[in-house]
Homo-oligomer: A and B are copies of this chain.
C-alpha cells in the first residue's frame, strides 16, 4: 500500500476555483501567476486527479457580466466539467471583494447593502443549483469591525440571523435542497469578525428558523489562527450533527491567513483530523481551501494540489497503522479511552473524598507521553 497515494473519486477531493486559480497577490505584492479561466482550472484539477470543484459566484461569472455572458460561461463550464469528469459539490458567494461590502454584507449598517447582499446570494444559489451543488457555504469575510464604536454587536448577530433565515426560505421556495455551511474566521480582513470560531456558528444555529438546514464549514487555518484545536472544533460540530463541509489547509497560529498546503505546517494535528474524518464516517467533500506559495508558477500549482491530496492519503494510511498497532491499542485499553460516557459513575467515587482514596486514584498510570511518542513514530514511519 505504501508509495501509492493516488487520488480517486471516492476520496472526494475538491478544490475551489479560487485555490488553483489563486494568482499570488498579497498585501505587499502584485499577482505573479496568469489568470486561469474556470475551464482551465477544471482541466488542471482533472490532470492532478481531483474529484470536485467549488466556486464563488464571481469566480465563475464576473460581477458585471450580462445575462448573455453568464449563459455562455455556464454552458462552457458545464461542458468542461463533463469533459473532465469533475463535479460541483459546493457553491458559495463572494460578499467581500467589491467595495460595496467594505462595511460588511449581511451585517452592514447600510440596509441597502444588506439588501443587495441578500439578492446577490440568492443569485449565487441559483448558479450553484444549476451545477448540482448541494452545499452552500457562507463565509462572512467582511462581517466584522475595526472599531466597536460603529455598531452594536448584538445587532450584527440579529442582522446575520435575519439573512440566513431569508436564504433558508429561498432554499425552500426554490426547492434547491441546499445544506448551508457557515464558515467562521477570527480576523482578517477585518480586525474582529462577529463569528470568530466554528463554535460561534454552532451557537447561532439553534436560534434560526430552519436549524436543520444549517451547519458549519470549519477551516483549519481559521481555527489555528486563534491558536485553537481544529480537531476539537470538528468534533463538536460532528457531535452536534452539523459537520456539513470542511476546509482543509494548514496554518501557523497567531499569523495572517496563510492557507498553506494541507499538512505542511502541523502534520501531527492534521493526522488527528484525518483520522477523525475517516473513522467517524464523514461523507462530505474533502475540500482543500489553500493556495500555492507565491514563489510558484503554474506547474507549481499542480505540485501544490497533488501535495494536498497525497498528504491526506498518507495520513489516512498512518491512521490505519496507528489503529493496527498492538502496543498503541494496549495503551488505549489501559487508559480506558474506550470506556464511554454511559459508564459515568465509578465504583470508588463515593469514598474518594478521603485523602488516601484520592491518592490512589491519582496514582493510576496514564502513559500519555509513551502514547504520544508512539504516535510521532507512526507519523515518522519508524514503527
Contacts and interface: CB of A to CB of B under 8 A. Distances in A.
B296 A26 contact: no
- For A111, A142, A147, A352, which residue has the most chain B Cβ atoms within 10 angstroms? A147
A336 B110 contact: yes
A147 B381 CA distance: 19
Given A255-B188, A303-B369, A349-B115, A207 B32 contact: no
Contacts of A266: 266
Given A96-B29, A372-B149, A197 B194 contact: no
Contacts of A280: 154
A239 interface: yes
Interface string A309-331: 01100100010000000001000
Given A194-B232, A235-B153, A367-B300, A267 B376 contact: yes
A109 B146 contact: no
A3 B382 CA distance: 6
B158 A340 contact: yes
24 contacts: A27-B189, A28-B97, A28-B142, A28-B189, A31-B99, A98-B362, A100-B361, A102-B294, A110-B336, A110-B364, A115-B345, A118-B349, A119-B350, A146-B295, A147-B371, A148-B272, A153-B276, A158-B340, A189-B256, A199-B202, A256-B256, A293-B368, A380-B381, A381-B382
A27 B188 contact: yes
A114 B364 CA distance: 14
A147 B372 contact: yes
Contacts of A304: 369
A9 interface: no
A332 to B, nearest CB: 8
B119 A191 contact: no
A307 interface: yes
A339 B303 contact: no
Contacts of A370: 300, 303, 307
Q: How large is the interface on A (under 10, 10 to 19, 20 to 34, 35 or more residues)?
A: 35 or more
A278 to B, nearest CB: 13
B112 A339 contact: no
A31 B96 CA distance: 12
A119 B353 contact: yes
A107 to B, nearest CB: 9
Contact of A382 (B2, B257, B307): B2
A155 B368 contact: no
A256 B119 CA distance: 31
A314 to B, nearest CB: 5
A227 B199 contact: no
Contacts of A149: 272, 328, 368, 371-372, 374-375
Given A24-B102, A235-B153, A370-B303, A344 B381 contact: no
A304 B25 CA distance: 26
A253 interface: yes
A210 interface: no
